[in-house]
Structure 1
Amino acid sequence: MSRAGAATPGAAVLVIGATGTTGSRTVAGLAAAGHTVKAAGRSGTPVAGAEPVRFDWYDPGTHAAALTGVDRVYVVPPVGDPDPAAVVLPFLRRARAADVRRAVLLSASSIENGGPAVGLVHQALPDIFDEWAVLRPSWFMQNFTGGHEHARRIRTDGTILTATGRGRVAFVDAEDIAAVAVRALTDVRSPDTDLVLTGPEALSYDDVAAIVAEVTGRPVVHHSLSYEEMRDRLAALMPGEFAAMLAGMDRAIAEGAEDRVTDCVQRLTGRPARSFRAVAERELRGAH
């Protein structure tokens, strides 16, 4: 913990990706705590408790209005862009010039500082802002309850397909990610750090399938594919380079890359991270 920084009187927090999985929950948490929030998205869709503002990473003409009256920003990089730094870094420099003093970046546990894609934004962040944090959550628990391919397949045929083998992941609740984001954005002292966010236990996909089956009362089975099988299957749905990257993430899980538990949620929010079973019961019980 380093530099102190009370919120600028009357200033707002800008949440980019305000209708997304973590952005919507971050907006709700900020609004519930009494903060002024600007909810940024491509459509400028109204979000409860916030001022909607249209924002498009690829349209710099939308950036000035989004930054007006803002002193902190939650940054969700453009999804699916292989080089997000090309658009995110110019925006962040513009934000700093507009007196935004704190930025909280959403990255991922699988992407190291200086690594590819968002890792390059992570690396540059401390040189742009005096107050900053990078949230690197593990895989979302909501991948099994919302609109993700895993959740859809569970609903349609009771299967989960991965190339993770017996590898384990400390899945994290999006509500916990948002709670950490709220604290990182609003605490008097900025964390100025890299926060790897996980749930309280590491689970294999076999474990996940068993818990979902118990909660929903329907059979759910994890089928483990080879890296090549997963890559080729994904390549039928998306560009080959992206398919190979996603299959490679599964292979990294199989090799133990995500088999770790941190205490960041507890340290930042003052309460334990939620378990996968608790989230499954909250979001899936009675839904199937």
Structure 2
Amino acid sequence: MYKTIVIGTGPAGLTAAIYLARANLSPLVIEGLQPGGQLTTTTEVENFPGFPEGILGPDLMDNMRKQAERFGAEFKNGWVESVDFSQRPFKVTVDGLGVLEAESVIISTGASARYMGIPGEQENVGRGVSTCATCDGFFFRGKKIVVVGGGDSAMEEASFLTRFASSVTLVHRRSELRASKIMQDRARDNSKVVWALDRTPLEVATDEKGVKGLMVRNNETGNSELVEADGVFVAIGHTPNTAFLGDQITTDPNGYIVVNPGTTETNIPGVFACGDVQDTRYRQAISAAGTGCMAAMDAEKYLEGSMVHDWSESLDK
């Protein structure tokens, strides 16, 4: 029986573990298939406070893990297959570990960026391929960039990246965009944005220096073309990692966990959510860490109330 089980080890989960451990709650942290979350695939992190020279993503996550361990957090590696929030204690079924019980649960499983699934993409993530303009745009100052996508996120990323890039080519496989009119107009009014619509991405092209562009198929002619660029930003959406929850936790139409405004509370008392799994807007390491702190404090307050309630019931008996 654990006071709190934290599912996930990105900035949110690790921050929650630090706060819980310092409160003497000895949390158990379940690491998934990618301990440390998306930052472990990032090279230089320059916008996390406290590191004026920047820090490598894996190093930042390793430091946070060590900090949580120092205060008594326990880590176990495994994949959460299912949860049972219908009764207390809550039950968490983990592949290789069996059924674990907890008085409270913090869900910080994040959201996975969707990729194109083309050659040259995955092997160059963090080396010219990115899914976060605010994280990596600075590294492409004065360079050519390709943004892939046709929704609001792609328009926003393209407009943001024009602050740094010499030009931003927006590639979309259809001739029409899914983005709202106001977002399209904003991008079209930007002189640095170049349009390459009705093009299907085929391969991230590289040479000995790194990424050199995106090979696409012109859907009108059928011919292959190289869109020259120093960086390729994929903006085709994110998928929150919530499938293991079934229908026990309230989510929005896109699968993100819904929390009570200003808190990390879900629809089930004692179950909390933090980080990108409930964040449809910011998706930054520092904002995830902030909600991790909130979740730990919410869980601590919940546990205090539960313990008082249990103690009062025992006196009545």
TM-score using structure 2 length: 0.31
Q: Which entry has the higher C-alpha Rg, 1 or 2?
A: 2
User: Bigger relative contact order, structure 1 or 2, given CA contacts below 8 A and separation 6+?
Assistant: 2
Q: TM-score, normalised by structure 1?
A: 0.34
Q: Where is the strand percentage greater, Structure 1 or Structure 2?
A: 2
Structure number with higher helix proportion: 1
